[in-house]
């Protein structure tokens, strides 16, 4: 069974919630803001949280994968090796798998998942570059071009889409959240908006907005606390 859930933010308590749903052989996919590893300075006050969370996932009977959000230490993330898994490129982050931007994965059950992480930190004015905020949160030209190539190769038809932020076609799903008044532009959301209407999919999952709601008409689901089976 494959499950999808929302932002982890490196929280150990949230990580332990996964085992209440996922069983041996299952896969849990986090829709961005995985948040570990976070601490480059291993002597920092809370640096041991990184190892505790990653160790918990590494020893679990289920597997954890994630797309990146806007709250990641992208400098640390870039140090992990790239390998092939599920027919696409992933980074093996000490036993958890980073599903990279613009990739298409064919899962063990035959379903296909297109992934595109990243987003804009609305609070970046209160963060420090290279310490608590990284410019790589926004997609690059190369990542967008790679996504186009991936979608062209599958004739713009996938089973599922998992992103962190959302296309503006889904605005009504997060209209009631604290993000509704945000005027910050987002290149990643612009890109997702540009492809949404041309993409054929069964369900689109995203995080970022710290709320749980589904819209059957849009075939879209915003996730935060809930852990739902892929396809629901």
DSSP-assigned states of every residue in 44-70:
STTTHHHHHHHHHHHHSSSEEEEE--S
Fold of 2-229: Purple Acid Phosphatase; chain A, domain 2 (3.60.21)
Measured N-to-C along each axis, helices 187-196 and 141-153 cross at an angle, to the nearest 10 degrees, of 20
For residue 1, how many other CB atoms are within 10 A of its CB?
Answer: 13
User: What does the mean pLDDT of the chain come to?
Assistant: 95
Q: pLDDT (tens digit, 9 = 90+) per residue, 97-111?
A: 999 999 999 999 999
Q: pLDDT (tens digit, 9 = 90+) per residue, 175-190?
A: 877 765 556 789 999 9
Rounded Cα distance, 47 and 58, in Å: 18
What does the pLDDT read at residue 180? 55
Task: Write phi, then psi, for 106 (nearest 5 degrees).
Answer: -105, 110
Domain spans of the chain, in order of start: 2-229
Q: Answer whether 88's CB lies under 8 Å from 99's CB.
A: yes
Rounded Cα distance, 207 and 41, in Å: 28
Rounded Cα distance, 185 and 203, in Å: 25
Q: Answer whether 225's CB lies under 8 Å from 212's CB.
A: yes
What does the pLDDT read at residue 191? 98
């Amino acid at each position: 069974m494959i499950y999808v859930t929302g932002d982890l933010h490196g929280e150990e308590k949230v990580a332990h919630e996964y085992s209440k749903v996922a069983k041996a052989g299952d896969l849990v996919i986090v829709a961005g803001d995985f948040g570990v590893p976070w601490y480059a300075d291993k002597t920092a006050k809370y640096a041991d949280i990184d190892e505790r969370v990653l160790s918990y996932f590494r020893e679990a009977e289920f597997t954890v994968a994630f797309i990146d959000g806007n709250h990641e230490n992208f400098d640390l993330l870039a140090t992990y090796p790239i390998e092939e898994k599920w027919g696409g490129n992933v980074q093996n982050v000490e036993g958890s798998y980073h599903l990279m931007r613009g990739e298409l994965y064919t899962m063990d059950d035959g379903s296909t998942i297109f992934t595109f992480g990243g987003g804009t930190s609305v609070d970046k004015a209160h963060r420090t570059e290279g310490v608590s905020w990284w410019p790589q949160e926004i997609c690059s030209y190369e990542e967008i071009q790679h996504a186009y190539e991936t979608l062209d190769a599958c004739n713009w038809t996938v089973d599922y889409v998992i992103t962190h932020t959302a296309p503006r076609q889904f605005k009504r799903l997060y209209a009631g959240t604290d993000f509704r008044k945000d005027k910050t532009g987002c290149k990643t959301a612009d890109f997702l908006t540009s492809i949404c209407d041309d993409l054929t999919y069964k369900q689109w999952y995203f995080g970022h907005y710290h709320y749980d709601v589904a819209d059957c008409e849009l075939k879209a689901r915003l996730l935060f606390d809930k852990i739902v089976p892929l396809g629901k």
